Chain A
């Protein structure tokens, strides 16, 4: 609380990305966008403020969803509400918009940003599983050699552990991008918790795949809250790839969750329940795709 706020020596709200990146160059900036994770974390003492408090809200071009081209681009400061109301995106990536539907509460959706949700690197982060099944990458920008440098990192390689990513202190996540899914692409998202509203996922499951002649291909399955990071369920994917979507395949995929999920006991759920829910949800989303 108070002891940490004393350490903030500068508040910055730049309009241009290069200004923001220069401010971050020394690696001593706390990045603030929606503040919906930052505020409770600093309040509880789980995180400390650094010398600079950097507000991203005014940076031009950091918000917005571009669905015009072959590559879909979502600006890091785009709010969950913006994402939820974006009709073209709902057609392209329904699972992502579905996850936005079930994201916290209206107040939090209005403030929370897509980039913030990813950088927070919670195993329960709602944006991660649907973006993982879309094969998304994040753009990380920094100020080096008197210029803005950008690198792309696949989202799968972005998460390291709870709260930790490969983003360097001087880097800013500026956008998340993914290829426009091919025809026949289907996606699903399912999450659960002890209460419908304002929920932090006990477990979440996302599925993305192409379906043709009753067979799945390019299968991606992602799980939330069953490991230190959101993860791709490779064993489940292997059980599905190229196979006919029938009861046998679904049963094999459900059984394969045991090889991918590494749930733990915590205050929100037991490992048993998390493992159980993953099986239930994997079966549910597969049955749902099968019915369509």
Chain B
């Protein structure tokens, strides 16, 4: 490729689709990066939180006298200090509680000179509790006589959602085959390498500066302010480097207002940072749900309807978790061509930990159900699942019942590419035929797909981004952008786009995106939106700068701006690529001429999408995308261990921007999805987390990562930057049901409650093989003794 470029200088070399490393990679790899967790400010105090350690209780008495008298303690706060400073989506949370509603409820907080003193002070706080009967499942919470968790939410009812489309009764009547199952997606948590941390400091004008890991710095101010009783305008948000977020920092959680309240009380900076155990207990989870799903089709395999009746375990407070039906219903109605849809969801308060947003937001749970039911229906129709999927796959230009407009739809290409690359159909038949043959180890192959928003999701009034781009006298570019970098690699994408548009080296681009007083508004990192939205914003800003430069250069060179371009640090002639003048000379001449001008442009990009709306009928994203995963596994039918041998991925990425970043996002997303599928499980018993450590909470680690065969399908999205679509959530969404379908192919068992742990798999296979009541002798075990 480089040879071609050298041979023909007029062909512009493009960076789009190249492999570009993250600008911060060397510092992170060598340990130079100073994460927020490493930060120490002069005069800084350490804040510690006293957690309830019980799921449901009345607080009879709190005595903080001894703690306050401890030398080195500067402040002790309790629920009394924050009365009525409610925050949260439905204002059901408060930084320090007046009643215990879950294990990690924050009862008191201390600011002290050292962590040791703060811990000692916590021990000196006396709290008398009167334990109350708890609610530990949504079914229990929905019962008439259930204990009430919030006075303001009778019947423990939290959010509810509904979407209906088409004549269900008629569709059911027309369905020759129906699958009907209950799926129970479980609690998992983000496990960010950097534990939750905030540092707060008030100045004497009452302005708060908060250093935080947030991934939505602008609306964060709006959400944090009520917890402190201050104006959102009086908050400055600074985002130092973070060790992961994955959706867990898309809301305000109590440790943040606690840091600020302690800072206000003491007049000094206060840092609150969780230990790993606290992180497990007190950071948000992925939303757990009970999904009763039914899908119907005709005898020849055409989908007729899909219904989902969803009960959500809200936990004690309402963060993003119970809002996932907004996405769940998009998958229920849009995962394949579903003419008739009936979706309803109700969230019920419980005394369990509560959920926030987490990569794949609602779609991980829904696709777990839809993709398994697709596989079940294919078997009932008795056709190859690939053929069944293809028969029901949407094509470009189709519109889903919720009005998601699939302008560029590459589902068919994804299905065909992955199936061909993995030799899916042949292997599936072969493995199914061997299912009941003797032998301990069984191979299986499973196909799953999903649909997800790939151009943001307009759940706020705006889904836009502000960008400021300036250039200095040396042709160095600074991009001041609302796009937060939380490890996902928007820094590399923005750098690449600026270098592409302005013909400057990658390392001449600087990003400023970590200070809400400097950078313009953005809705935040979520919904697979940042490359799409910030990519467009950056490109638009860069093109404005480019037009300004080329106009000025044209005047200097007495050429027409249309005949000029910026390449390799120079203004060049389009026709032959000849360098006419150094870019930095143009910039200096512009700056120091008689009518001086600086290159400093602004842009606000708003994607062409419609607000979600209360009826949920809107084209809420500027793009949609599909991915297909084909998992190949080996099952030890005796121990129940699943070894994932290979995953073939075909994903519609619109267009590859930074190939290395794309690969990294898909690998990382898969690792989270594999953990969800196989090993990660928060063991919550009566509201108490029993495995708050990595010893007993099993993340997927390097040895368990299977070989990946990645295929990027480029559908060239008209609205996306250079044709790109958002990509980062689908890898997490699709893998679990692909493995579930492979497990069925291998063994004939299905697991409806993730994770597919060795124990669950072993028991399911044991029960399938051993006739009921047959006692201890296990057919398969006896078979292998030969």
Contacts and interface: CB of A to CB of B under 8 A. Distances in A.
B639 A279 contact: no
Contacts of B690: 267
B702 A255 contact: no
Interface in B677-733: 678-679, 683, 690-691, 693-696, 698, 700-704
B786 A247 contact: yes
Contacts of A197: 701-704
Interface stretch (A111-119, A150-158, A228-236, A270-278): A270-278
Nearest to B119: A2
Interface in A1-31: 1-3, 5-6
B441 to A, nearest CB: 12
A287 B785 contact: yes
Contact of B638 (A1, A194, A255, A280): A280
Nearest to B697: A267
Contact of B639 (A5, A192, A251): A192
A196 B639 contact: no
A254 B785 CA distance: 11
From B120, B123, B695, B784, name the one whose CB has the most chain A CB atoms within 10 angstroms: B695
Interface string B754-786: 000111001100100000000010100110111
A276 B762 contact: yes
B116 interface: yes
A279 B781 contact: yes
A198 B784 CA distance: 29
Interface string B105-123: 0000000000110011001
From A258, A270, A284, name the one whose CB has the most chain B CB atoms within 10 angstroms: A284
Contacts of A192: 639, 641, 758
Interface string A159-199: 00000000000000000000000000000000011111110
A40 interface: yes
B115 A2 contact: yes
Interface in B265-280: 277
B762 A250 contact: no
A283 interface: yes
A5 B472 CA distance: 55
B109 to A, nearest CB: 17
A200 interface: yes
Given A196-B704, A270-B759, A277-B639, A251 B119 contact: no
A269 interface: yes
Nearest to A200: B695
A273 B759 CA distance: 6
Chain B: number of interface residues, binned into ranges: 35 or more
Contacts of A85: none
Interface string A240-280: 00000001001100110010000000011110110011011
Chain A: number of interface residues, binned into ranges: 35 or more
B251 to A, nearest CB: 28
Contacts of A269: 759
B761 to A, nearest CB: 10
A57 to B, nearest CB: 24
Nearest to B639: A192
Contacts of A280: 638-639, 781
B776 A258 contact: yes
A279 B780 CA distance: 12
A273 B698 CA distance: 18
A272 B759 CA distance: 9
A44 interface: yes
Contact of A196 (B119, B120, B703, B784): B703
A255 B781 CA distance: 12
A23 to B, nearest CB: 26
Given A3-B123, A192-B639, A273 B785 contact: no
B489 to A, nearest CB: 26
A193 B697 CA distance: 12
B781 A283 contact: yes
A189 B776 CA distance: 24
B784 to A, nearest CB: 7
A195 B759 contact: no
Interface string A83-102: 00000000000000000000
A170 to B, nearest CB: 31
B763 A194 contact: no
A268 B776 contact: no
Contact of A194 (B702, B759, B766, B785): B759
Contacts of B115: 2
A258 B694 CA distance: 31
A194 B695 contact: no
Contacts of B759: 194, 202, 269-270, 273
B784 A267 contact: no
B762 A198 contact: no
Nearest to B683: A267
A194 B759 CA distance: 8
12 contacts: A2-B116, A3-B120, A3-B123, A194-B678, A194-B698, A196-B704, A197-B703, A198-B701, A200-B695, A254-B781, A267-B690, A283-B784
Sort A-B residue pairs by CB-CB distance and give the 5 closest, nearest first. A2-B116, A273-B759, A280-B638, A197-B703, A2-B119
Given A195-B701, A267-B696, A272-B763, 8 more contacts: A1-B119, A200-B695, A200-B696, A202-B759, A251-B785, A254-B781, A255-B776, A287-B785
